[in-house]
Amino acid sequence: MVTTTQRSISFTANGSTTVFAFPFMVMAGSDLIVVSNGLIQDTGAYSVSGVGVESGGSVTFVAAPTATWVVSITRTVPNLQGTDFPNAGFVPAVLERALDRLTLQIQDSPAAEQQPAAEGSHVVNVMNYGAVANGTTDDSFAVNAAVAALVDRSVLYFPAGVYRCSTFTLSGLSGVSVRGDGPGVSTIRNNNSFAAGVGGLVHPVTVGARVINVDKTCDHIEVTGLTFDGNCIYRKPGQQAVTIDASYTTFHNNETVNSGEFANQFGRNRDDGDPMLYLNCHHNMVGMCFADGYNLHRQRHATVSDNIVDGADDDLIAISQSVDVVVANNVCLSRRDVLRVSVGAKVLVILLPPLSCLQEHLQESLPWQ
């Protein structure tokens, strides 16, 4: 029986502890990826106990990781089926174990074609490049140095803390995962400062701008487990906290707050003949921002589901010039104008509570036949 969807846990080493417990089931010790100080550990550096135990087990290091190093344990079950049933007889225990393994595989592989980082991936820990993450030190140099060290199918890892840095950009990369230890646990806060004006009113120089930019030369990108804080107290046109133009992007389990304009912008910098493909945006939270919560532009085959938008100053979810976009099961609390779609756009929308107000708006905006 599988009783939890958790598949990863992180610790901060104290220099003496060698045993680290994980609260989720694994079928084999080889199903675990163990990372210490940003480096995937060889299996000879640790042993695994509790294999097959529903409540989890533990990893025991041969030598205690150095104090302040971050240790993470993540389950990654290979997409293989190794159970061979005989032609006669019925063995419930064998069947249950096979079903358990299938459940773990589903949890560990949300989308095979979008799975960016795998066992053996190069983990780039921003703290190894000098990031302090104390909420006051400028970590811009360290974060950009870590970004420069990325290669295809690597992980850009932000351990727990608050990182103050300027906008950073991913370009020309494939299969990269940008990860933290969870929204509210790993926070990236912009520290750019400049004046901003809107509607003829110019505000003084203040801090705040775009946090992350993933340009269209990237593909198969995952962003998860982070809070993106634009740090804006005024509207700053063009300063979306999150801007992503990479096809095959999975954006999940994140929080976006204090954006100067759109909280999360996808595909806005794509050309008409070059749409953004297969965006999967789910289980995220949007707090205060000065325009749309989600702005999707030039999308093909996108899904926006199970998100919470609470604090957008304009459209909560806006879609334009897009085809085959599914919007489902989102909690939208700020305005009745939930979904703005350009007339003529071919958008498939699944209407599920609590989006009861979506039906009326679509009837007014879309040319349904």
What are the average pLDDT values for consecutive 10-residue runs of the chain, which has 369 residues? Answer: 73 91 88 78 91 91 89 74 57 62 55 42 87 92 93 91 93 93 91 67 68 93 93 80 94 90 90 85 88 88 87 80 83 54 36 34 31
Full DSSP string of 257-272: ESBSS-SEEESTT--T
Would the pTM count as exceeding 0.75? no
Q: Which of 294, 295, 300, 248 is nearest to 275 (CA)?
A: 300
Q: Which of 291, 292, 319 is nearest to 304 (CA)?
A: 319
Q: What own/partner pairs with CB < 8 Å and gap ≥ 24 does 127-132 have?
A: 127/38, 127/70, 127/159, 128/37, 128/38, 131/158, 131/161, 131/163, 132/161
Both tokens of 80, joined, read 């293989």
Task: Return the sign of the alpha-carbon dihedral for residues 23, 29, 30, 36.
Answer: positive
What are the boundaries of each domain within the chain? 8-109, 122-365
| Strand, helix or coil for residue 349 | coil
DSSP 66: P
Q: Which residue spans within 128-246 are E strands per DSSP? A: 134-138, 154-158, 161-165, 168-170, 177-180, 186-190, 193-198, 201-207, 212-214, 219-224, 227-229, 242-244
Please state, in angstroms and rounded to a whole number, the distance separating the CA atoms of residues 51 and 328: 37
Please state, in angstroms and rounded to a whole number, the distance separating the CA atoms of residues 16 and 18: 6
Angle (CA) 326-331-335 rounded to 5° is 100
| Strand, helix or coil for residue 274 | coil
Instruction: For 30-52, give the secondary structure using H, E and C.
Output: HHEEEEECCEECCHHHEEEECCC
- For residue 49, what are the contacts with CB-CB under 8 A and spacing of at least 6? 57, 58, 60
Class of domain 122-365: mainly beta
Both tokens of 66, joined, read 């150095």
CB 309 within 8 A of CB 333: yes
